[in-house]
């Protein structure tokens, strides 16, 4: 404590200056630290106390080895240092395929970040994104925009935020309508955000082929009339992949050409567009070139902890940044998440526009293995496995979703009904997961249940 200063803490036993006096003998026994480590320990001590006096790192005679983790130990009141342990049942999540996601087939959002992402976070910049000053975030936005062949990028906290910002920026003056697949995320799983944030009328379409929308579906449902009674279609929103299924590039091109002819904007919910690209459907620039805006997710199959990127023109994203601020999406030190997202793009998707040097292809191969395993036991599928999702027809197998979830839990697996998502961290444990799935499938077919009529729509987020 500086000379002649007065401690104003309400709990002397937790006062940093008093605490420092107790740990000084231990501190002096260690090698000399840098000023950076002095400041880190000072901040840690100050945050853990109720002291009103601000402790300056210059007043602490620290001698801490730079290699020692300051977050793994705490000082006891008797002057000893105790290593803190995580609460029972809590596991370190920065271990990728060795973590809990390795046996979790509920969704690719269950991927966990990797050690290399943590390393990137430890060396990231910590400047303000609202003021456009953070190099880590600016670099990520520029990198993903270039990868997608777009002018600019805008980091957002989630795919939902990216979709909503895009639609709000593309819709200028009401009345306006949005055309999309009836299974789209913007319709079913974004809490009615399109209506509440844009005021647009959403017109969901059931595709005739049962897999993806076609130009014929769009032409049969689009509203082009300028009659005073009509609500004209101003945006067509396509999702790729949707339920793991790919909308072919040729169909995107057909719909885009029609939309341009009629002055209709195009948005792509590309949360899993990475998967379509890796499956060989086309490169990122091939797909993104046909859309005004595209939302790309980092926290699903790529395994980053947080975030998505909205790409488009400079003009559109300037407005989207404004809307992002208005709904509380402005970020002060986003480097801690954008650094991890950059690693996710480079390592999981890869640096090539077609993702050929990444990790996602393994997950597609595993989905085919799961599909084959189910079918060889007599099972049928609800949807074909184009990428990393396998949709089991549990009803035809005489097994309820609740029963299937329970059987999976008994085998040490987490599932959410008949949709099995073989993200890359599951694929890295392929043999073990397939062995357990075989046991689950055998029991599911052996224990036929009485079919119960379903009441109401069931969300994939609730098993």
CATH topology of domain 124-349: 3.40.640
Token pair for 393: 């027809």
- Structural domain spans, the chain: 12-83, 124-349, 360-446
Instruction: Encode pLDDT of 146-162 as tens digits.
Output: 999 999 999 999 999 99
Query: Does domain 360-446 correspond to CATH entry 3.40.50.300?
Result: no
Residue 369 or 25, more confident:
369
Average pLDDT score over residue span 396-418: 96
Q: What percent of the chain has pLDDT over 90?
A: 73
As a whole number, the mean pLDDT across the chain is 84
Check residue 172 and give its pLDDT.
Answer: 87
Token pair for 267: 């948005």
User: Are 14 and 49 spatial neighbours (Cβ–Cβ below 8 Å)?
Assistant: yes
Instruction: Encode pLDDT of 131-150 as tens digits.
Output: 999 999 999 999 999 999 99
Average pLDDT score over residue span 13-38: 45
**Distance between CA atoms of residues 191 and 159, nearest Å:** 13
Check residue 459 and give its pLDDT.
Answer: 66
**What is the pTM (predicted TM-score) of this model?**
0.79
Check residue 461 and give its pLDDT.
Answer: 63
Instruction: Encode pLDDT of 93-108 as tens digits.
Output: 677 767 888 999 999 9
Q: DSSP letter string over 271-336?
A: TTHHHHHHTTS--HHHHHTT-SEEEEESSSTT--SS-EEEEE-HHHHHHHHHHHHHTT---SSTHH
CB-count exposure of residue 18 (10 Å: 0-12, 13-18, 19+) = middle
Instruction: Encode pLDDT of 109-126 as tens digits.
Output: 999 999 999 999 999 999
Q: Per-residue pLDDT for 225 more than 60?
A: yes
Q: Do domains 124-349 and 360-446 have the same CATH topology?
A: no
Instruction: Encode pLDDT of 249-297 as tens digits.
Output: 999 999 999 999 999 999 999 999 999 999 999 999 999 999 999 999 9
User: Are 336 and 124 spatial neighbours (Cβ–Cβ below 8 Å)?
Assistant: yes
Model confidence at 6, in pLDDT bands (50, 70, 90)?
Answer: very low
Instruction: Encode pLDDT of 311-330 as tens digits.
Output: 999 999 999 999 999 999 99
Check residue 35 and give its pLDDT.
Answer: 42
Token pair for 69: 């983790």
Model confidence at 393, in pLDDT bands (50, 70, 90)?
Answer: very high
**Distance between CA atoms of residues 155 and 137, nearest Å:** 7
Q: Per-residue pLDDT for 22 more than 90?
A: no
């Amino acid at each position: 404590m500086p000379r002649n200063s007065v401690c104003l803490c309400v709990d002397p036993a937790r006062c940093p200056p008093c605490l420092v006096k107790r740990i000084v003998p231990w501190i002096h026994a260690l090698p000399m630290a840098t000023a950076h480590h002095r400041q880190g320990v000072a901040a840690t001590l100050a945050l853990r106390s109720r002291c009103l006096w601000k402790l300056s790192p210059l007043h602490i005679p620290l001698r801490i080895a730079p290699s020692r983790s300051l977050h793994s130990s705490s000082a006891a009141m008797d002057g000893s240092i105790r290593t803190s342990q995580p609460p029972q049942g809590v596991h370190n999540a920065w271990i990728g395929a060795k973590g809990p996601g390795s046996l979790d087939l509920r969704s690719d959002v269950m991927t966990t970040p990797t050690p290399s992402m943590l390393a990137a976070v430890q060396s990231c910049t910590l400047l303000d994104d609202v003021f456009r000053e953070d190099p880590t975030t600016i670099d990520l936005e520029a990198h993903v925009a270039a990868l997608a062949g777009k002018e600019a990028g805008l980091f957002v906290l989630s795919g939902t935020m990216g979709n909503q910002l895009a639609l709000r920026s593309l819709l200028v003056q009401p009345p306006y309508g949005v055309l999309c697949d009836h299974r789209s995320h913007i319709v079913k799983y974004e809490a009615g955000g399109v209506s509440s944030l844009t005021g647009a009328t959403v017109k969901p379409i059931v595709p005739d082929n049962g897999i993806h929308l076609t130009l014929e579906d769009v032409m049969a449902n689009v509203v082009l009339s300028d009659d005073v009674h009509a609500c004209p279609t101003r945006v067509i929103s396509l999702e790729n992949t949707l339920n793991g299924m790919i909308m072919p590039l040729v169909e995107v091109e057909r719909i885009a050409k029609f939309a341009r002819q009629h002055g209709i904007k195009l948005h792509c919910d590309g949360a899993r567009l990475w998967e379509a690209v890796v499956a060989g459907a086309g490169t990122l620039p091939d797909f993104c070139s046909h859309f005004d805006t595209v939302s790309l997710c980092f926290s699903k199959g790529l395994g980053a902890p947080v975030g998505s990127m909205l790409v488009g023109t400079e003009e559109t994203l300037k407005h989207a940044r404004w809307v992002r601020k208005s709904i509380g999406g402005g970020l002060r030190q986003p480097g801690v998440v954008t650094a991890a997202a950059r690693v996710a793009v480079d390592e999981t998707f890869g640096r090539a526009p077609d993702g050929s040097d990444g990790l996602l292809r393994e997950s597609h191969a595993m989905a085919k293995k799961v599909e084959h395993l189910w079918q060889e036991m007599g099972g049928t599928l609800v949807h074909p496995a184009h990428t990393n999702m396998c949709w089991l027809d549990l009803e035809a197998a005489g097994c309820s979703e609740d029963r299937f979830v329970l059987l999976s839990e008994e085998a040490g697996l987490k599932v959410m009904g008949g949709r099995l998502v073989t993200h890359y961290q599951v694929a890295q444990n392929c043999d073990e997961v397939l062995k357990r799935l075989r046991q689950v499938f055998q029991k599911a077919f052996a224990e036929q249940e009485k079919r119960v009529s379903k009441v109401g729509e069931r969300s994939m987020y609730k098993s």
